[in-house]
Amino acid sequence: MKRRSFTAFAVAASLGFSLAGGASAESLSDLQKRQQQIESQKSDIQNSITQKEQTITELQKEQDSVTAQIRQLDSKITESESKIRAKEQEIADTKAEIERLRAEIEELKIRIAERTVVLEDRARSIQQSGGSANYIDVLLGAESFSDFVNRATAVTTLVNADKDILQQQENDKKQLEESERKVKEQLASLEEMLAELEKMNAELQKQRTEKDNVMKGLVADEHEAHDHKLNLEEEQELLDSQQASIQAAIQAEKERIAEQERAAAAAAAAKKKAEQEAAAAAAAKAKAKASASAASASVPQAAASEPEPEAEPVVQAAPADSGGMFMRPAQGTFTSGYGQRSLGDHKGVDIAQAGSGVPIVAAADGVVSRSYYSDTYGNAILISHSINGQVYTTVYAHLSERLVNGGSVSKGQTIGYMGNTGRSYGQHLHFEIHKGPWTVGKENAVDPAQYINF
């Protein structure tokens, strides 16, 4: 933050000083100079706000584009996952087909075994009738031509039948091998396709994760830009209120000068009147010169001296306990309420009081949980309270000085002095009550006006 420490309160304080000191012309030009400075600060801030708004718009555009990409990826993922499911179904079907073929193979094995038995039976019957397993021997052993014909017919039938059986067996075996080969091929190709689909899906998921991260970054950037804008707007608001109070101070100073001039004129008139009276009295005295030491008339004073303004005490009064759950943490003017700023992010109340020794007191009995300096809170004290079984945390920010660093404090005990440290624009106390612990997001913050009459 640049120098923006002078504020409504500082202005009021300097006005109070100038009233006592009476440097009215300088005071007026000072005030007017400050108004101009604030005006230029306001226009700087307005430019920054405009820039932040542009940044936000750009980030939102980028988010829209990433959202569209994510939408596309999601649709591709949906498609690829549906393909994977289909391939998995095909693989399951193919495995069932292999099972079915295996059952068929078992059946065929049984058939082959049965045929072998048939062939062996036939060979045995030929051996029994002809004594030899050899068909030629059977034919050559014919006793007559008709016997030969009979034997030849039988042999031909047997040979053809054997041939058929052997051919059948050969065909069955080939068919079986072919089916098995085809199905195995099919399974291998399905598994390859599934692997490819899964690889593609993994790639899509990876892209999706990358887009998610880009999106998260964009959203975070946008939040940050929003926060900056909020801070700038808050600053703008504070400058506005400063301008208003300076304007009031200028008005008051002008009225004071006019009043001073009226008083001077009245004093001059009174002096003139007194002089005239004195002259008249002198004339009367001259007339009655004879009566010596008859009168010891007192000459009236020209003007009564103004009473000295009372000096402000260094340490002012601490607030009195009004008897609630929490007491008022400081004397002064209630300048800003909970959530009362245009964007509703004020998580506490502000109390302002001029002077160097405005005491800040613990709002209730408790334990100091933190006493530290932060860029935003300035010198800050956090106190934990346990009231009727409920934990509360009170925050006292922008203090000039912290008087406690830990340990127990009691209700009304002075813990520090009001100041203007951290992100503060004029001496004030920023006071928060949290129902529960204090968090960065201030989710537990409650309106202190629920407990305290400000």
- CB 339, min distance to Zn ion, A: 11
Pick the piece of the chain touching Zn ion (CB under 5 A) from 193-201, 313-321, 369-377, 424-432: 424-432
Q: How far is the CB of 241 from Zn ion (least distance, A)?
A: 12
What is the C-alpha to C-alpha distance for residues 425 and 52, in angstroms, rounded to an integer?
22
List the Cα angle 438/440/444 in 5-degree steps: 45
Beta strands in 215-363 (DSSP E): 333-336, 349-352, 359-361
Inter-residue contact 86 to 197 (CB < 8 Å): no
Sheet holding 359-361, edge to edge: 359-361, 414-417, 401-402
Q: How many residues of this chain bind Zn ion (CB under 5 A)?
A: 3
The packing angle between helices 24-130 and 145-287, to 10°, is 170
Interhelix angle 145-287/8-21, rounded to 10 degrees, is: 10
Q: What letter would DSSP give residue 395?
A: E
Closer residue to Zn ion, CB minimum distance, 216 or 442? 442
DSSP state of 451: T
* Stretch binding Zn ion (CB under 5 A), from 7-15, 143-151, 167-175, 343-351: 343-351
- In this chain, which stretch among 138-146, 150-158, 408-416, 422-430 interacts with Zn ion, using CB under 5 A? 422-430
The pattern of x and - marking residues 111 through 150 that bind Zn ion according to CB under 5 A reads ----------------------------------------
Choosing from 328, 350, 416, 438, the residue that interacts with Zn ion (CB under 5 A) is: 350
CB 57 to Zn ion: min, Å: 30
Which range touches Zn ion (CB under 5 A), out of 1-9, 83-91, 200-208, 423-431? 423-431
In angstroms, the CA 29 to CA 387 distance is: 53
Please say which residue, 177 or 240, places its beta carbon nearer to Zn ion. Answer: 240
- Compare residues 16 and 337 and give the one whose CB is closer to Zn ion: 337
Residue 385 binding Zn ion, by CB under 5 A: no
User: In whole angstroms, how far apart are CA 253 and each of 139, 355, 447?
Assistant: 151, 20, 37
Amino acid found at 341:
R
CB of 375 to Zn ion, least distance (A): 15
Q: Is 335 helix (H, G, I), strand (E, B) or coil?
A: strand
Between 235 and 350, name the residue whose CB sits nearer to Zn ion: 350
Q: Please give the structure tokens belonging to residue 287.
A: 């007339």
Long-range pairs for 25-28: beta carbons < 8 A, 24 or more residues apart:
27/253, 28/250, 28/253, 28/254, 28/257
> Measured from the CB atom, is 348 or 412 closer to Zn ion?
348
Tokens of 401: 């000085």
Q: For Zn ion, which is the closer residue by CB, 127 or 241?
A: 241
Binder among 430, 432, 433, 448 for Zn ion (CB under 5 A)? 430
Please, what is the minimum distance in Å from the beta carbon of residue 56 to Zn ion? 25
| Interface residue list for Zn ion (CB under 5 A) | 348, 350, 430
